[in-house]
Amino acid sequence: MPFKKQSYQPNIDAGLGLIYRLNSLWNKADFAALEGDLERWNFILDTIYRNLLYRNNLDIQYEIDAQGKPMNILSVELVKEDKLIHDWYRKKIRTIKIKRLECIKKRDKIGYFQALDELYSIMGQKDSWLRKFMQERGLYLKEVEFNPANAMFGG
């Protein structure tokens, strides 16, 4: 029996899929944090960040020819504020990891554990920033709503 050609349209809002994906990632991030797996926690937080950028436009710089038409792409950047904050965390985490490695080389146990504590603290801060970032985009359920269906659709 031949199938009729139909245009496919999902019957559930695509944003719901994003919310499920983000909630799954947050679950993994929480478990990694609880296990003290800071590397895994950081990778998961970066994945959450990438998922939250779906609505943001990119800042694309083109090389323009004599007729005013784009020839080549010179650069592709994320929106400045989001990129600045994420890059700050990335650099801060890298600096602390280098400090921790230097303490291992010097066999400085006190310095190592101080760096580890500092890394844990900055990771918690990054985690909190991403949760607020998600809240700003309206991707969290309402905190006071008991029915998830009403919370997501403002009912």
Identify the weakest region by mean pLDDT among 56-70, 71-85, 112-126, 131-145: 131-145
Q: Are 79 and 98 spatial neighbours (Cβ–Cβ below 8 Å)? A: no
Residue 50: left (phi > 0), alpha (psi -120 to 50), or beta?
alpha
**Mean pLDDT in residue range 104-129:** 96
Q: Are 140 and 134 spatial neighbours (Cβ–Cβ below 8 Å)? A: yes
> What pLDDT sits at residue 129?
94
Helix axes 80-106 and 109-136, enclosed angle (nearest 10): 160
pLDDT category of residue 153 using cuts at 50, 70 and 90? low
Task: Tell me how many degrees the CA angle 15-86-116 measures, rounded to the nearest 5.
Answer: 115
Q: Are 32 and 40 spatial neighbours (Cβ–Cβ below 8 Å)? A: yes
Whether the pLDDT of residue 86 is over 80: the answer is yes
> What pLDDT sits at residue 148?
60
Cβ neighbors of 128 (< 8 A, separation 6 or more) are none
Tens of pLDDT along 33-46?
999 999 999 999 99
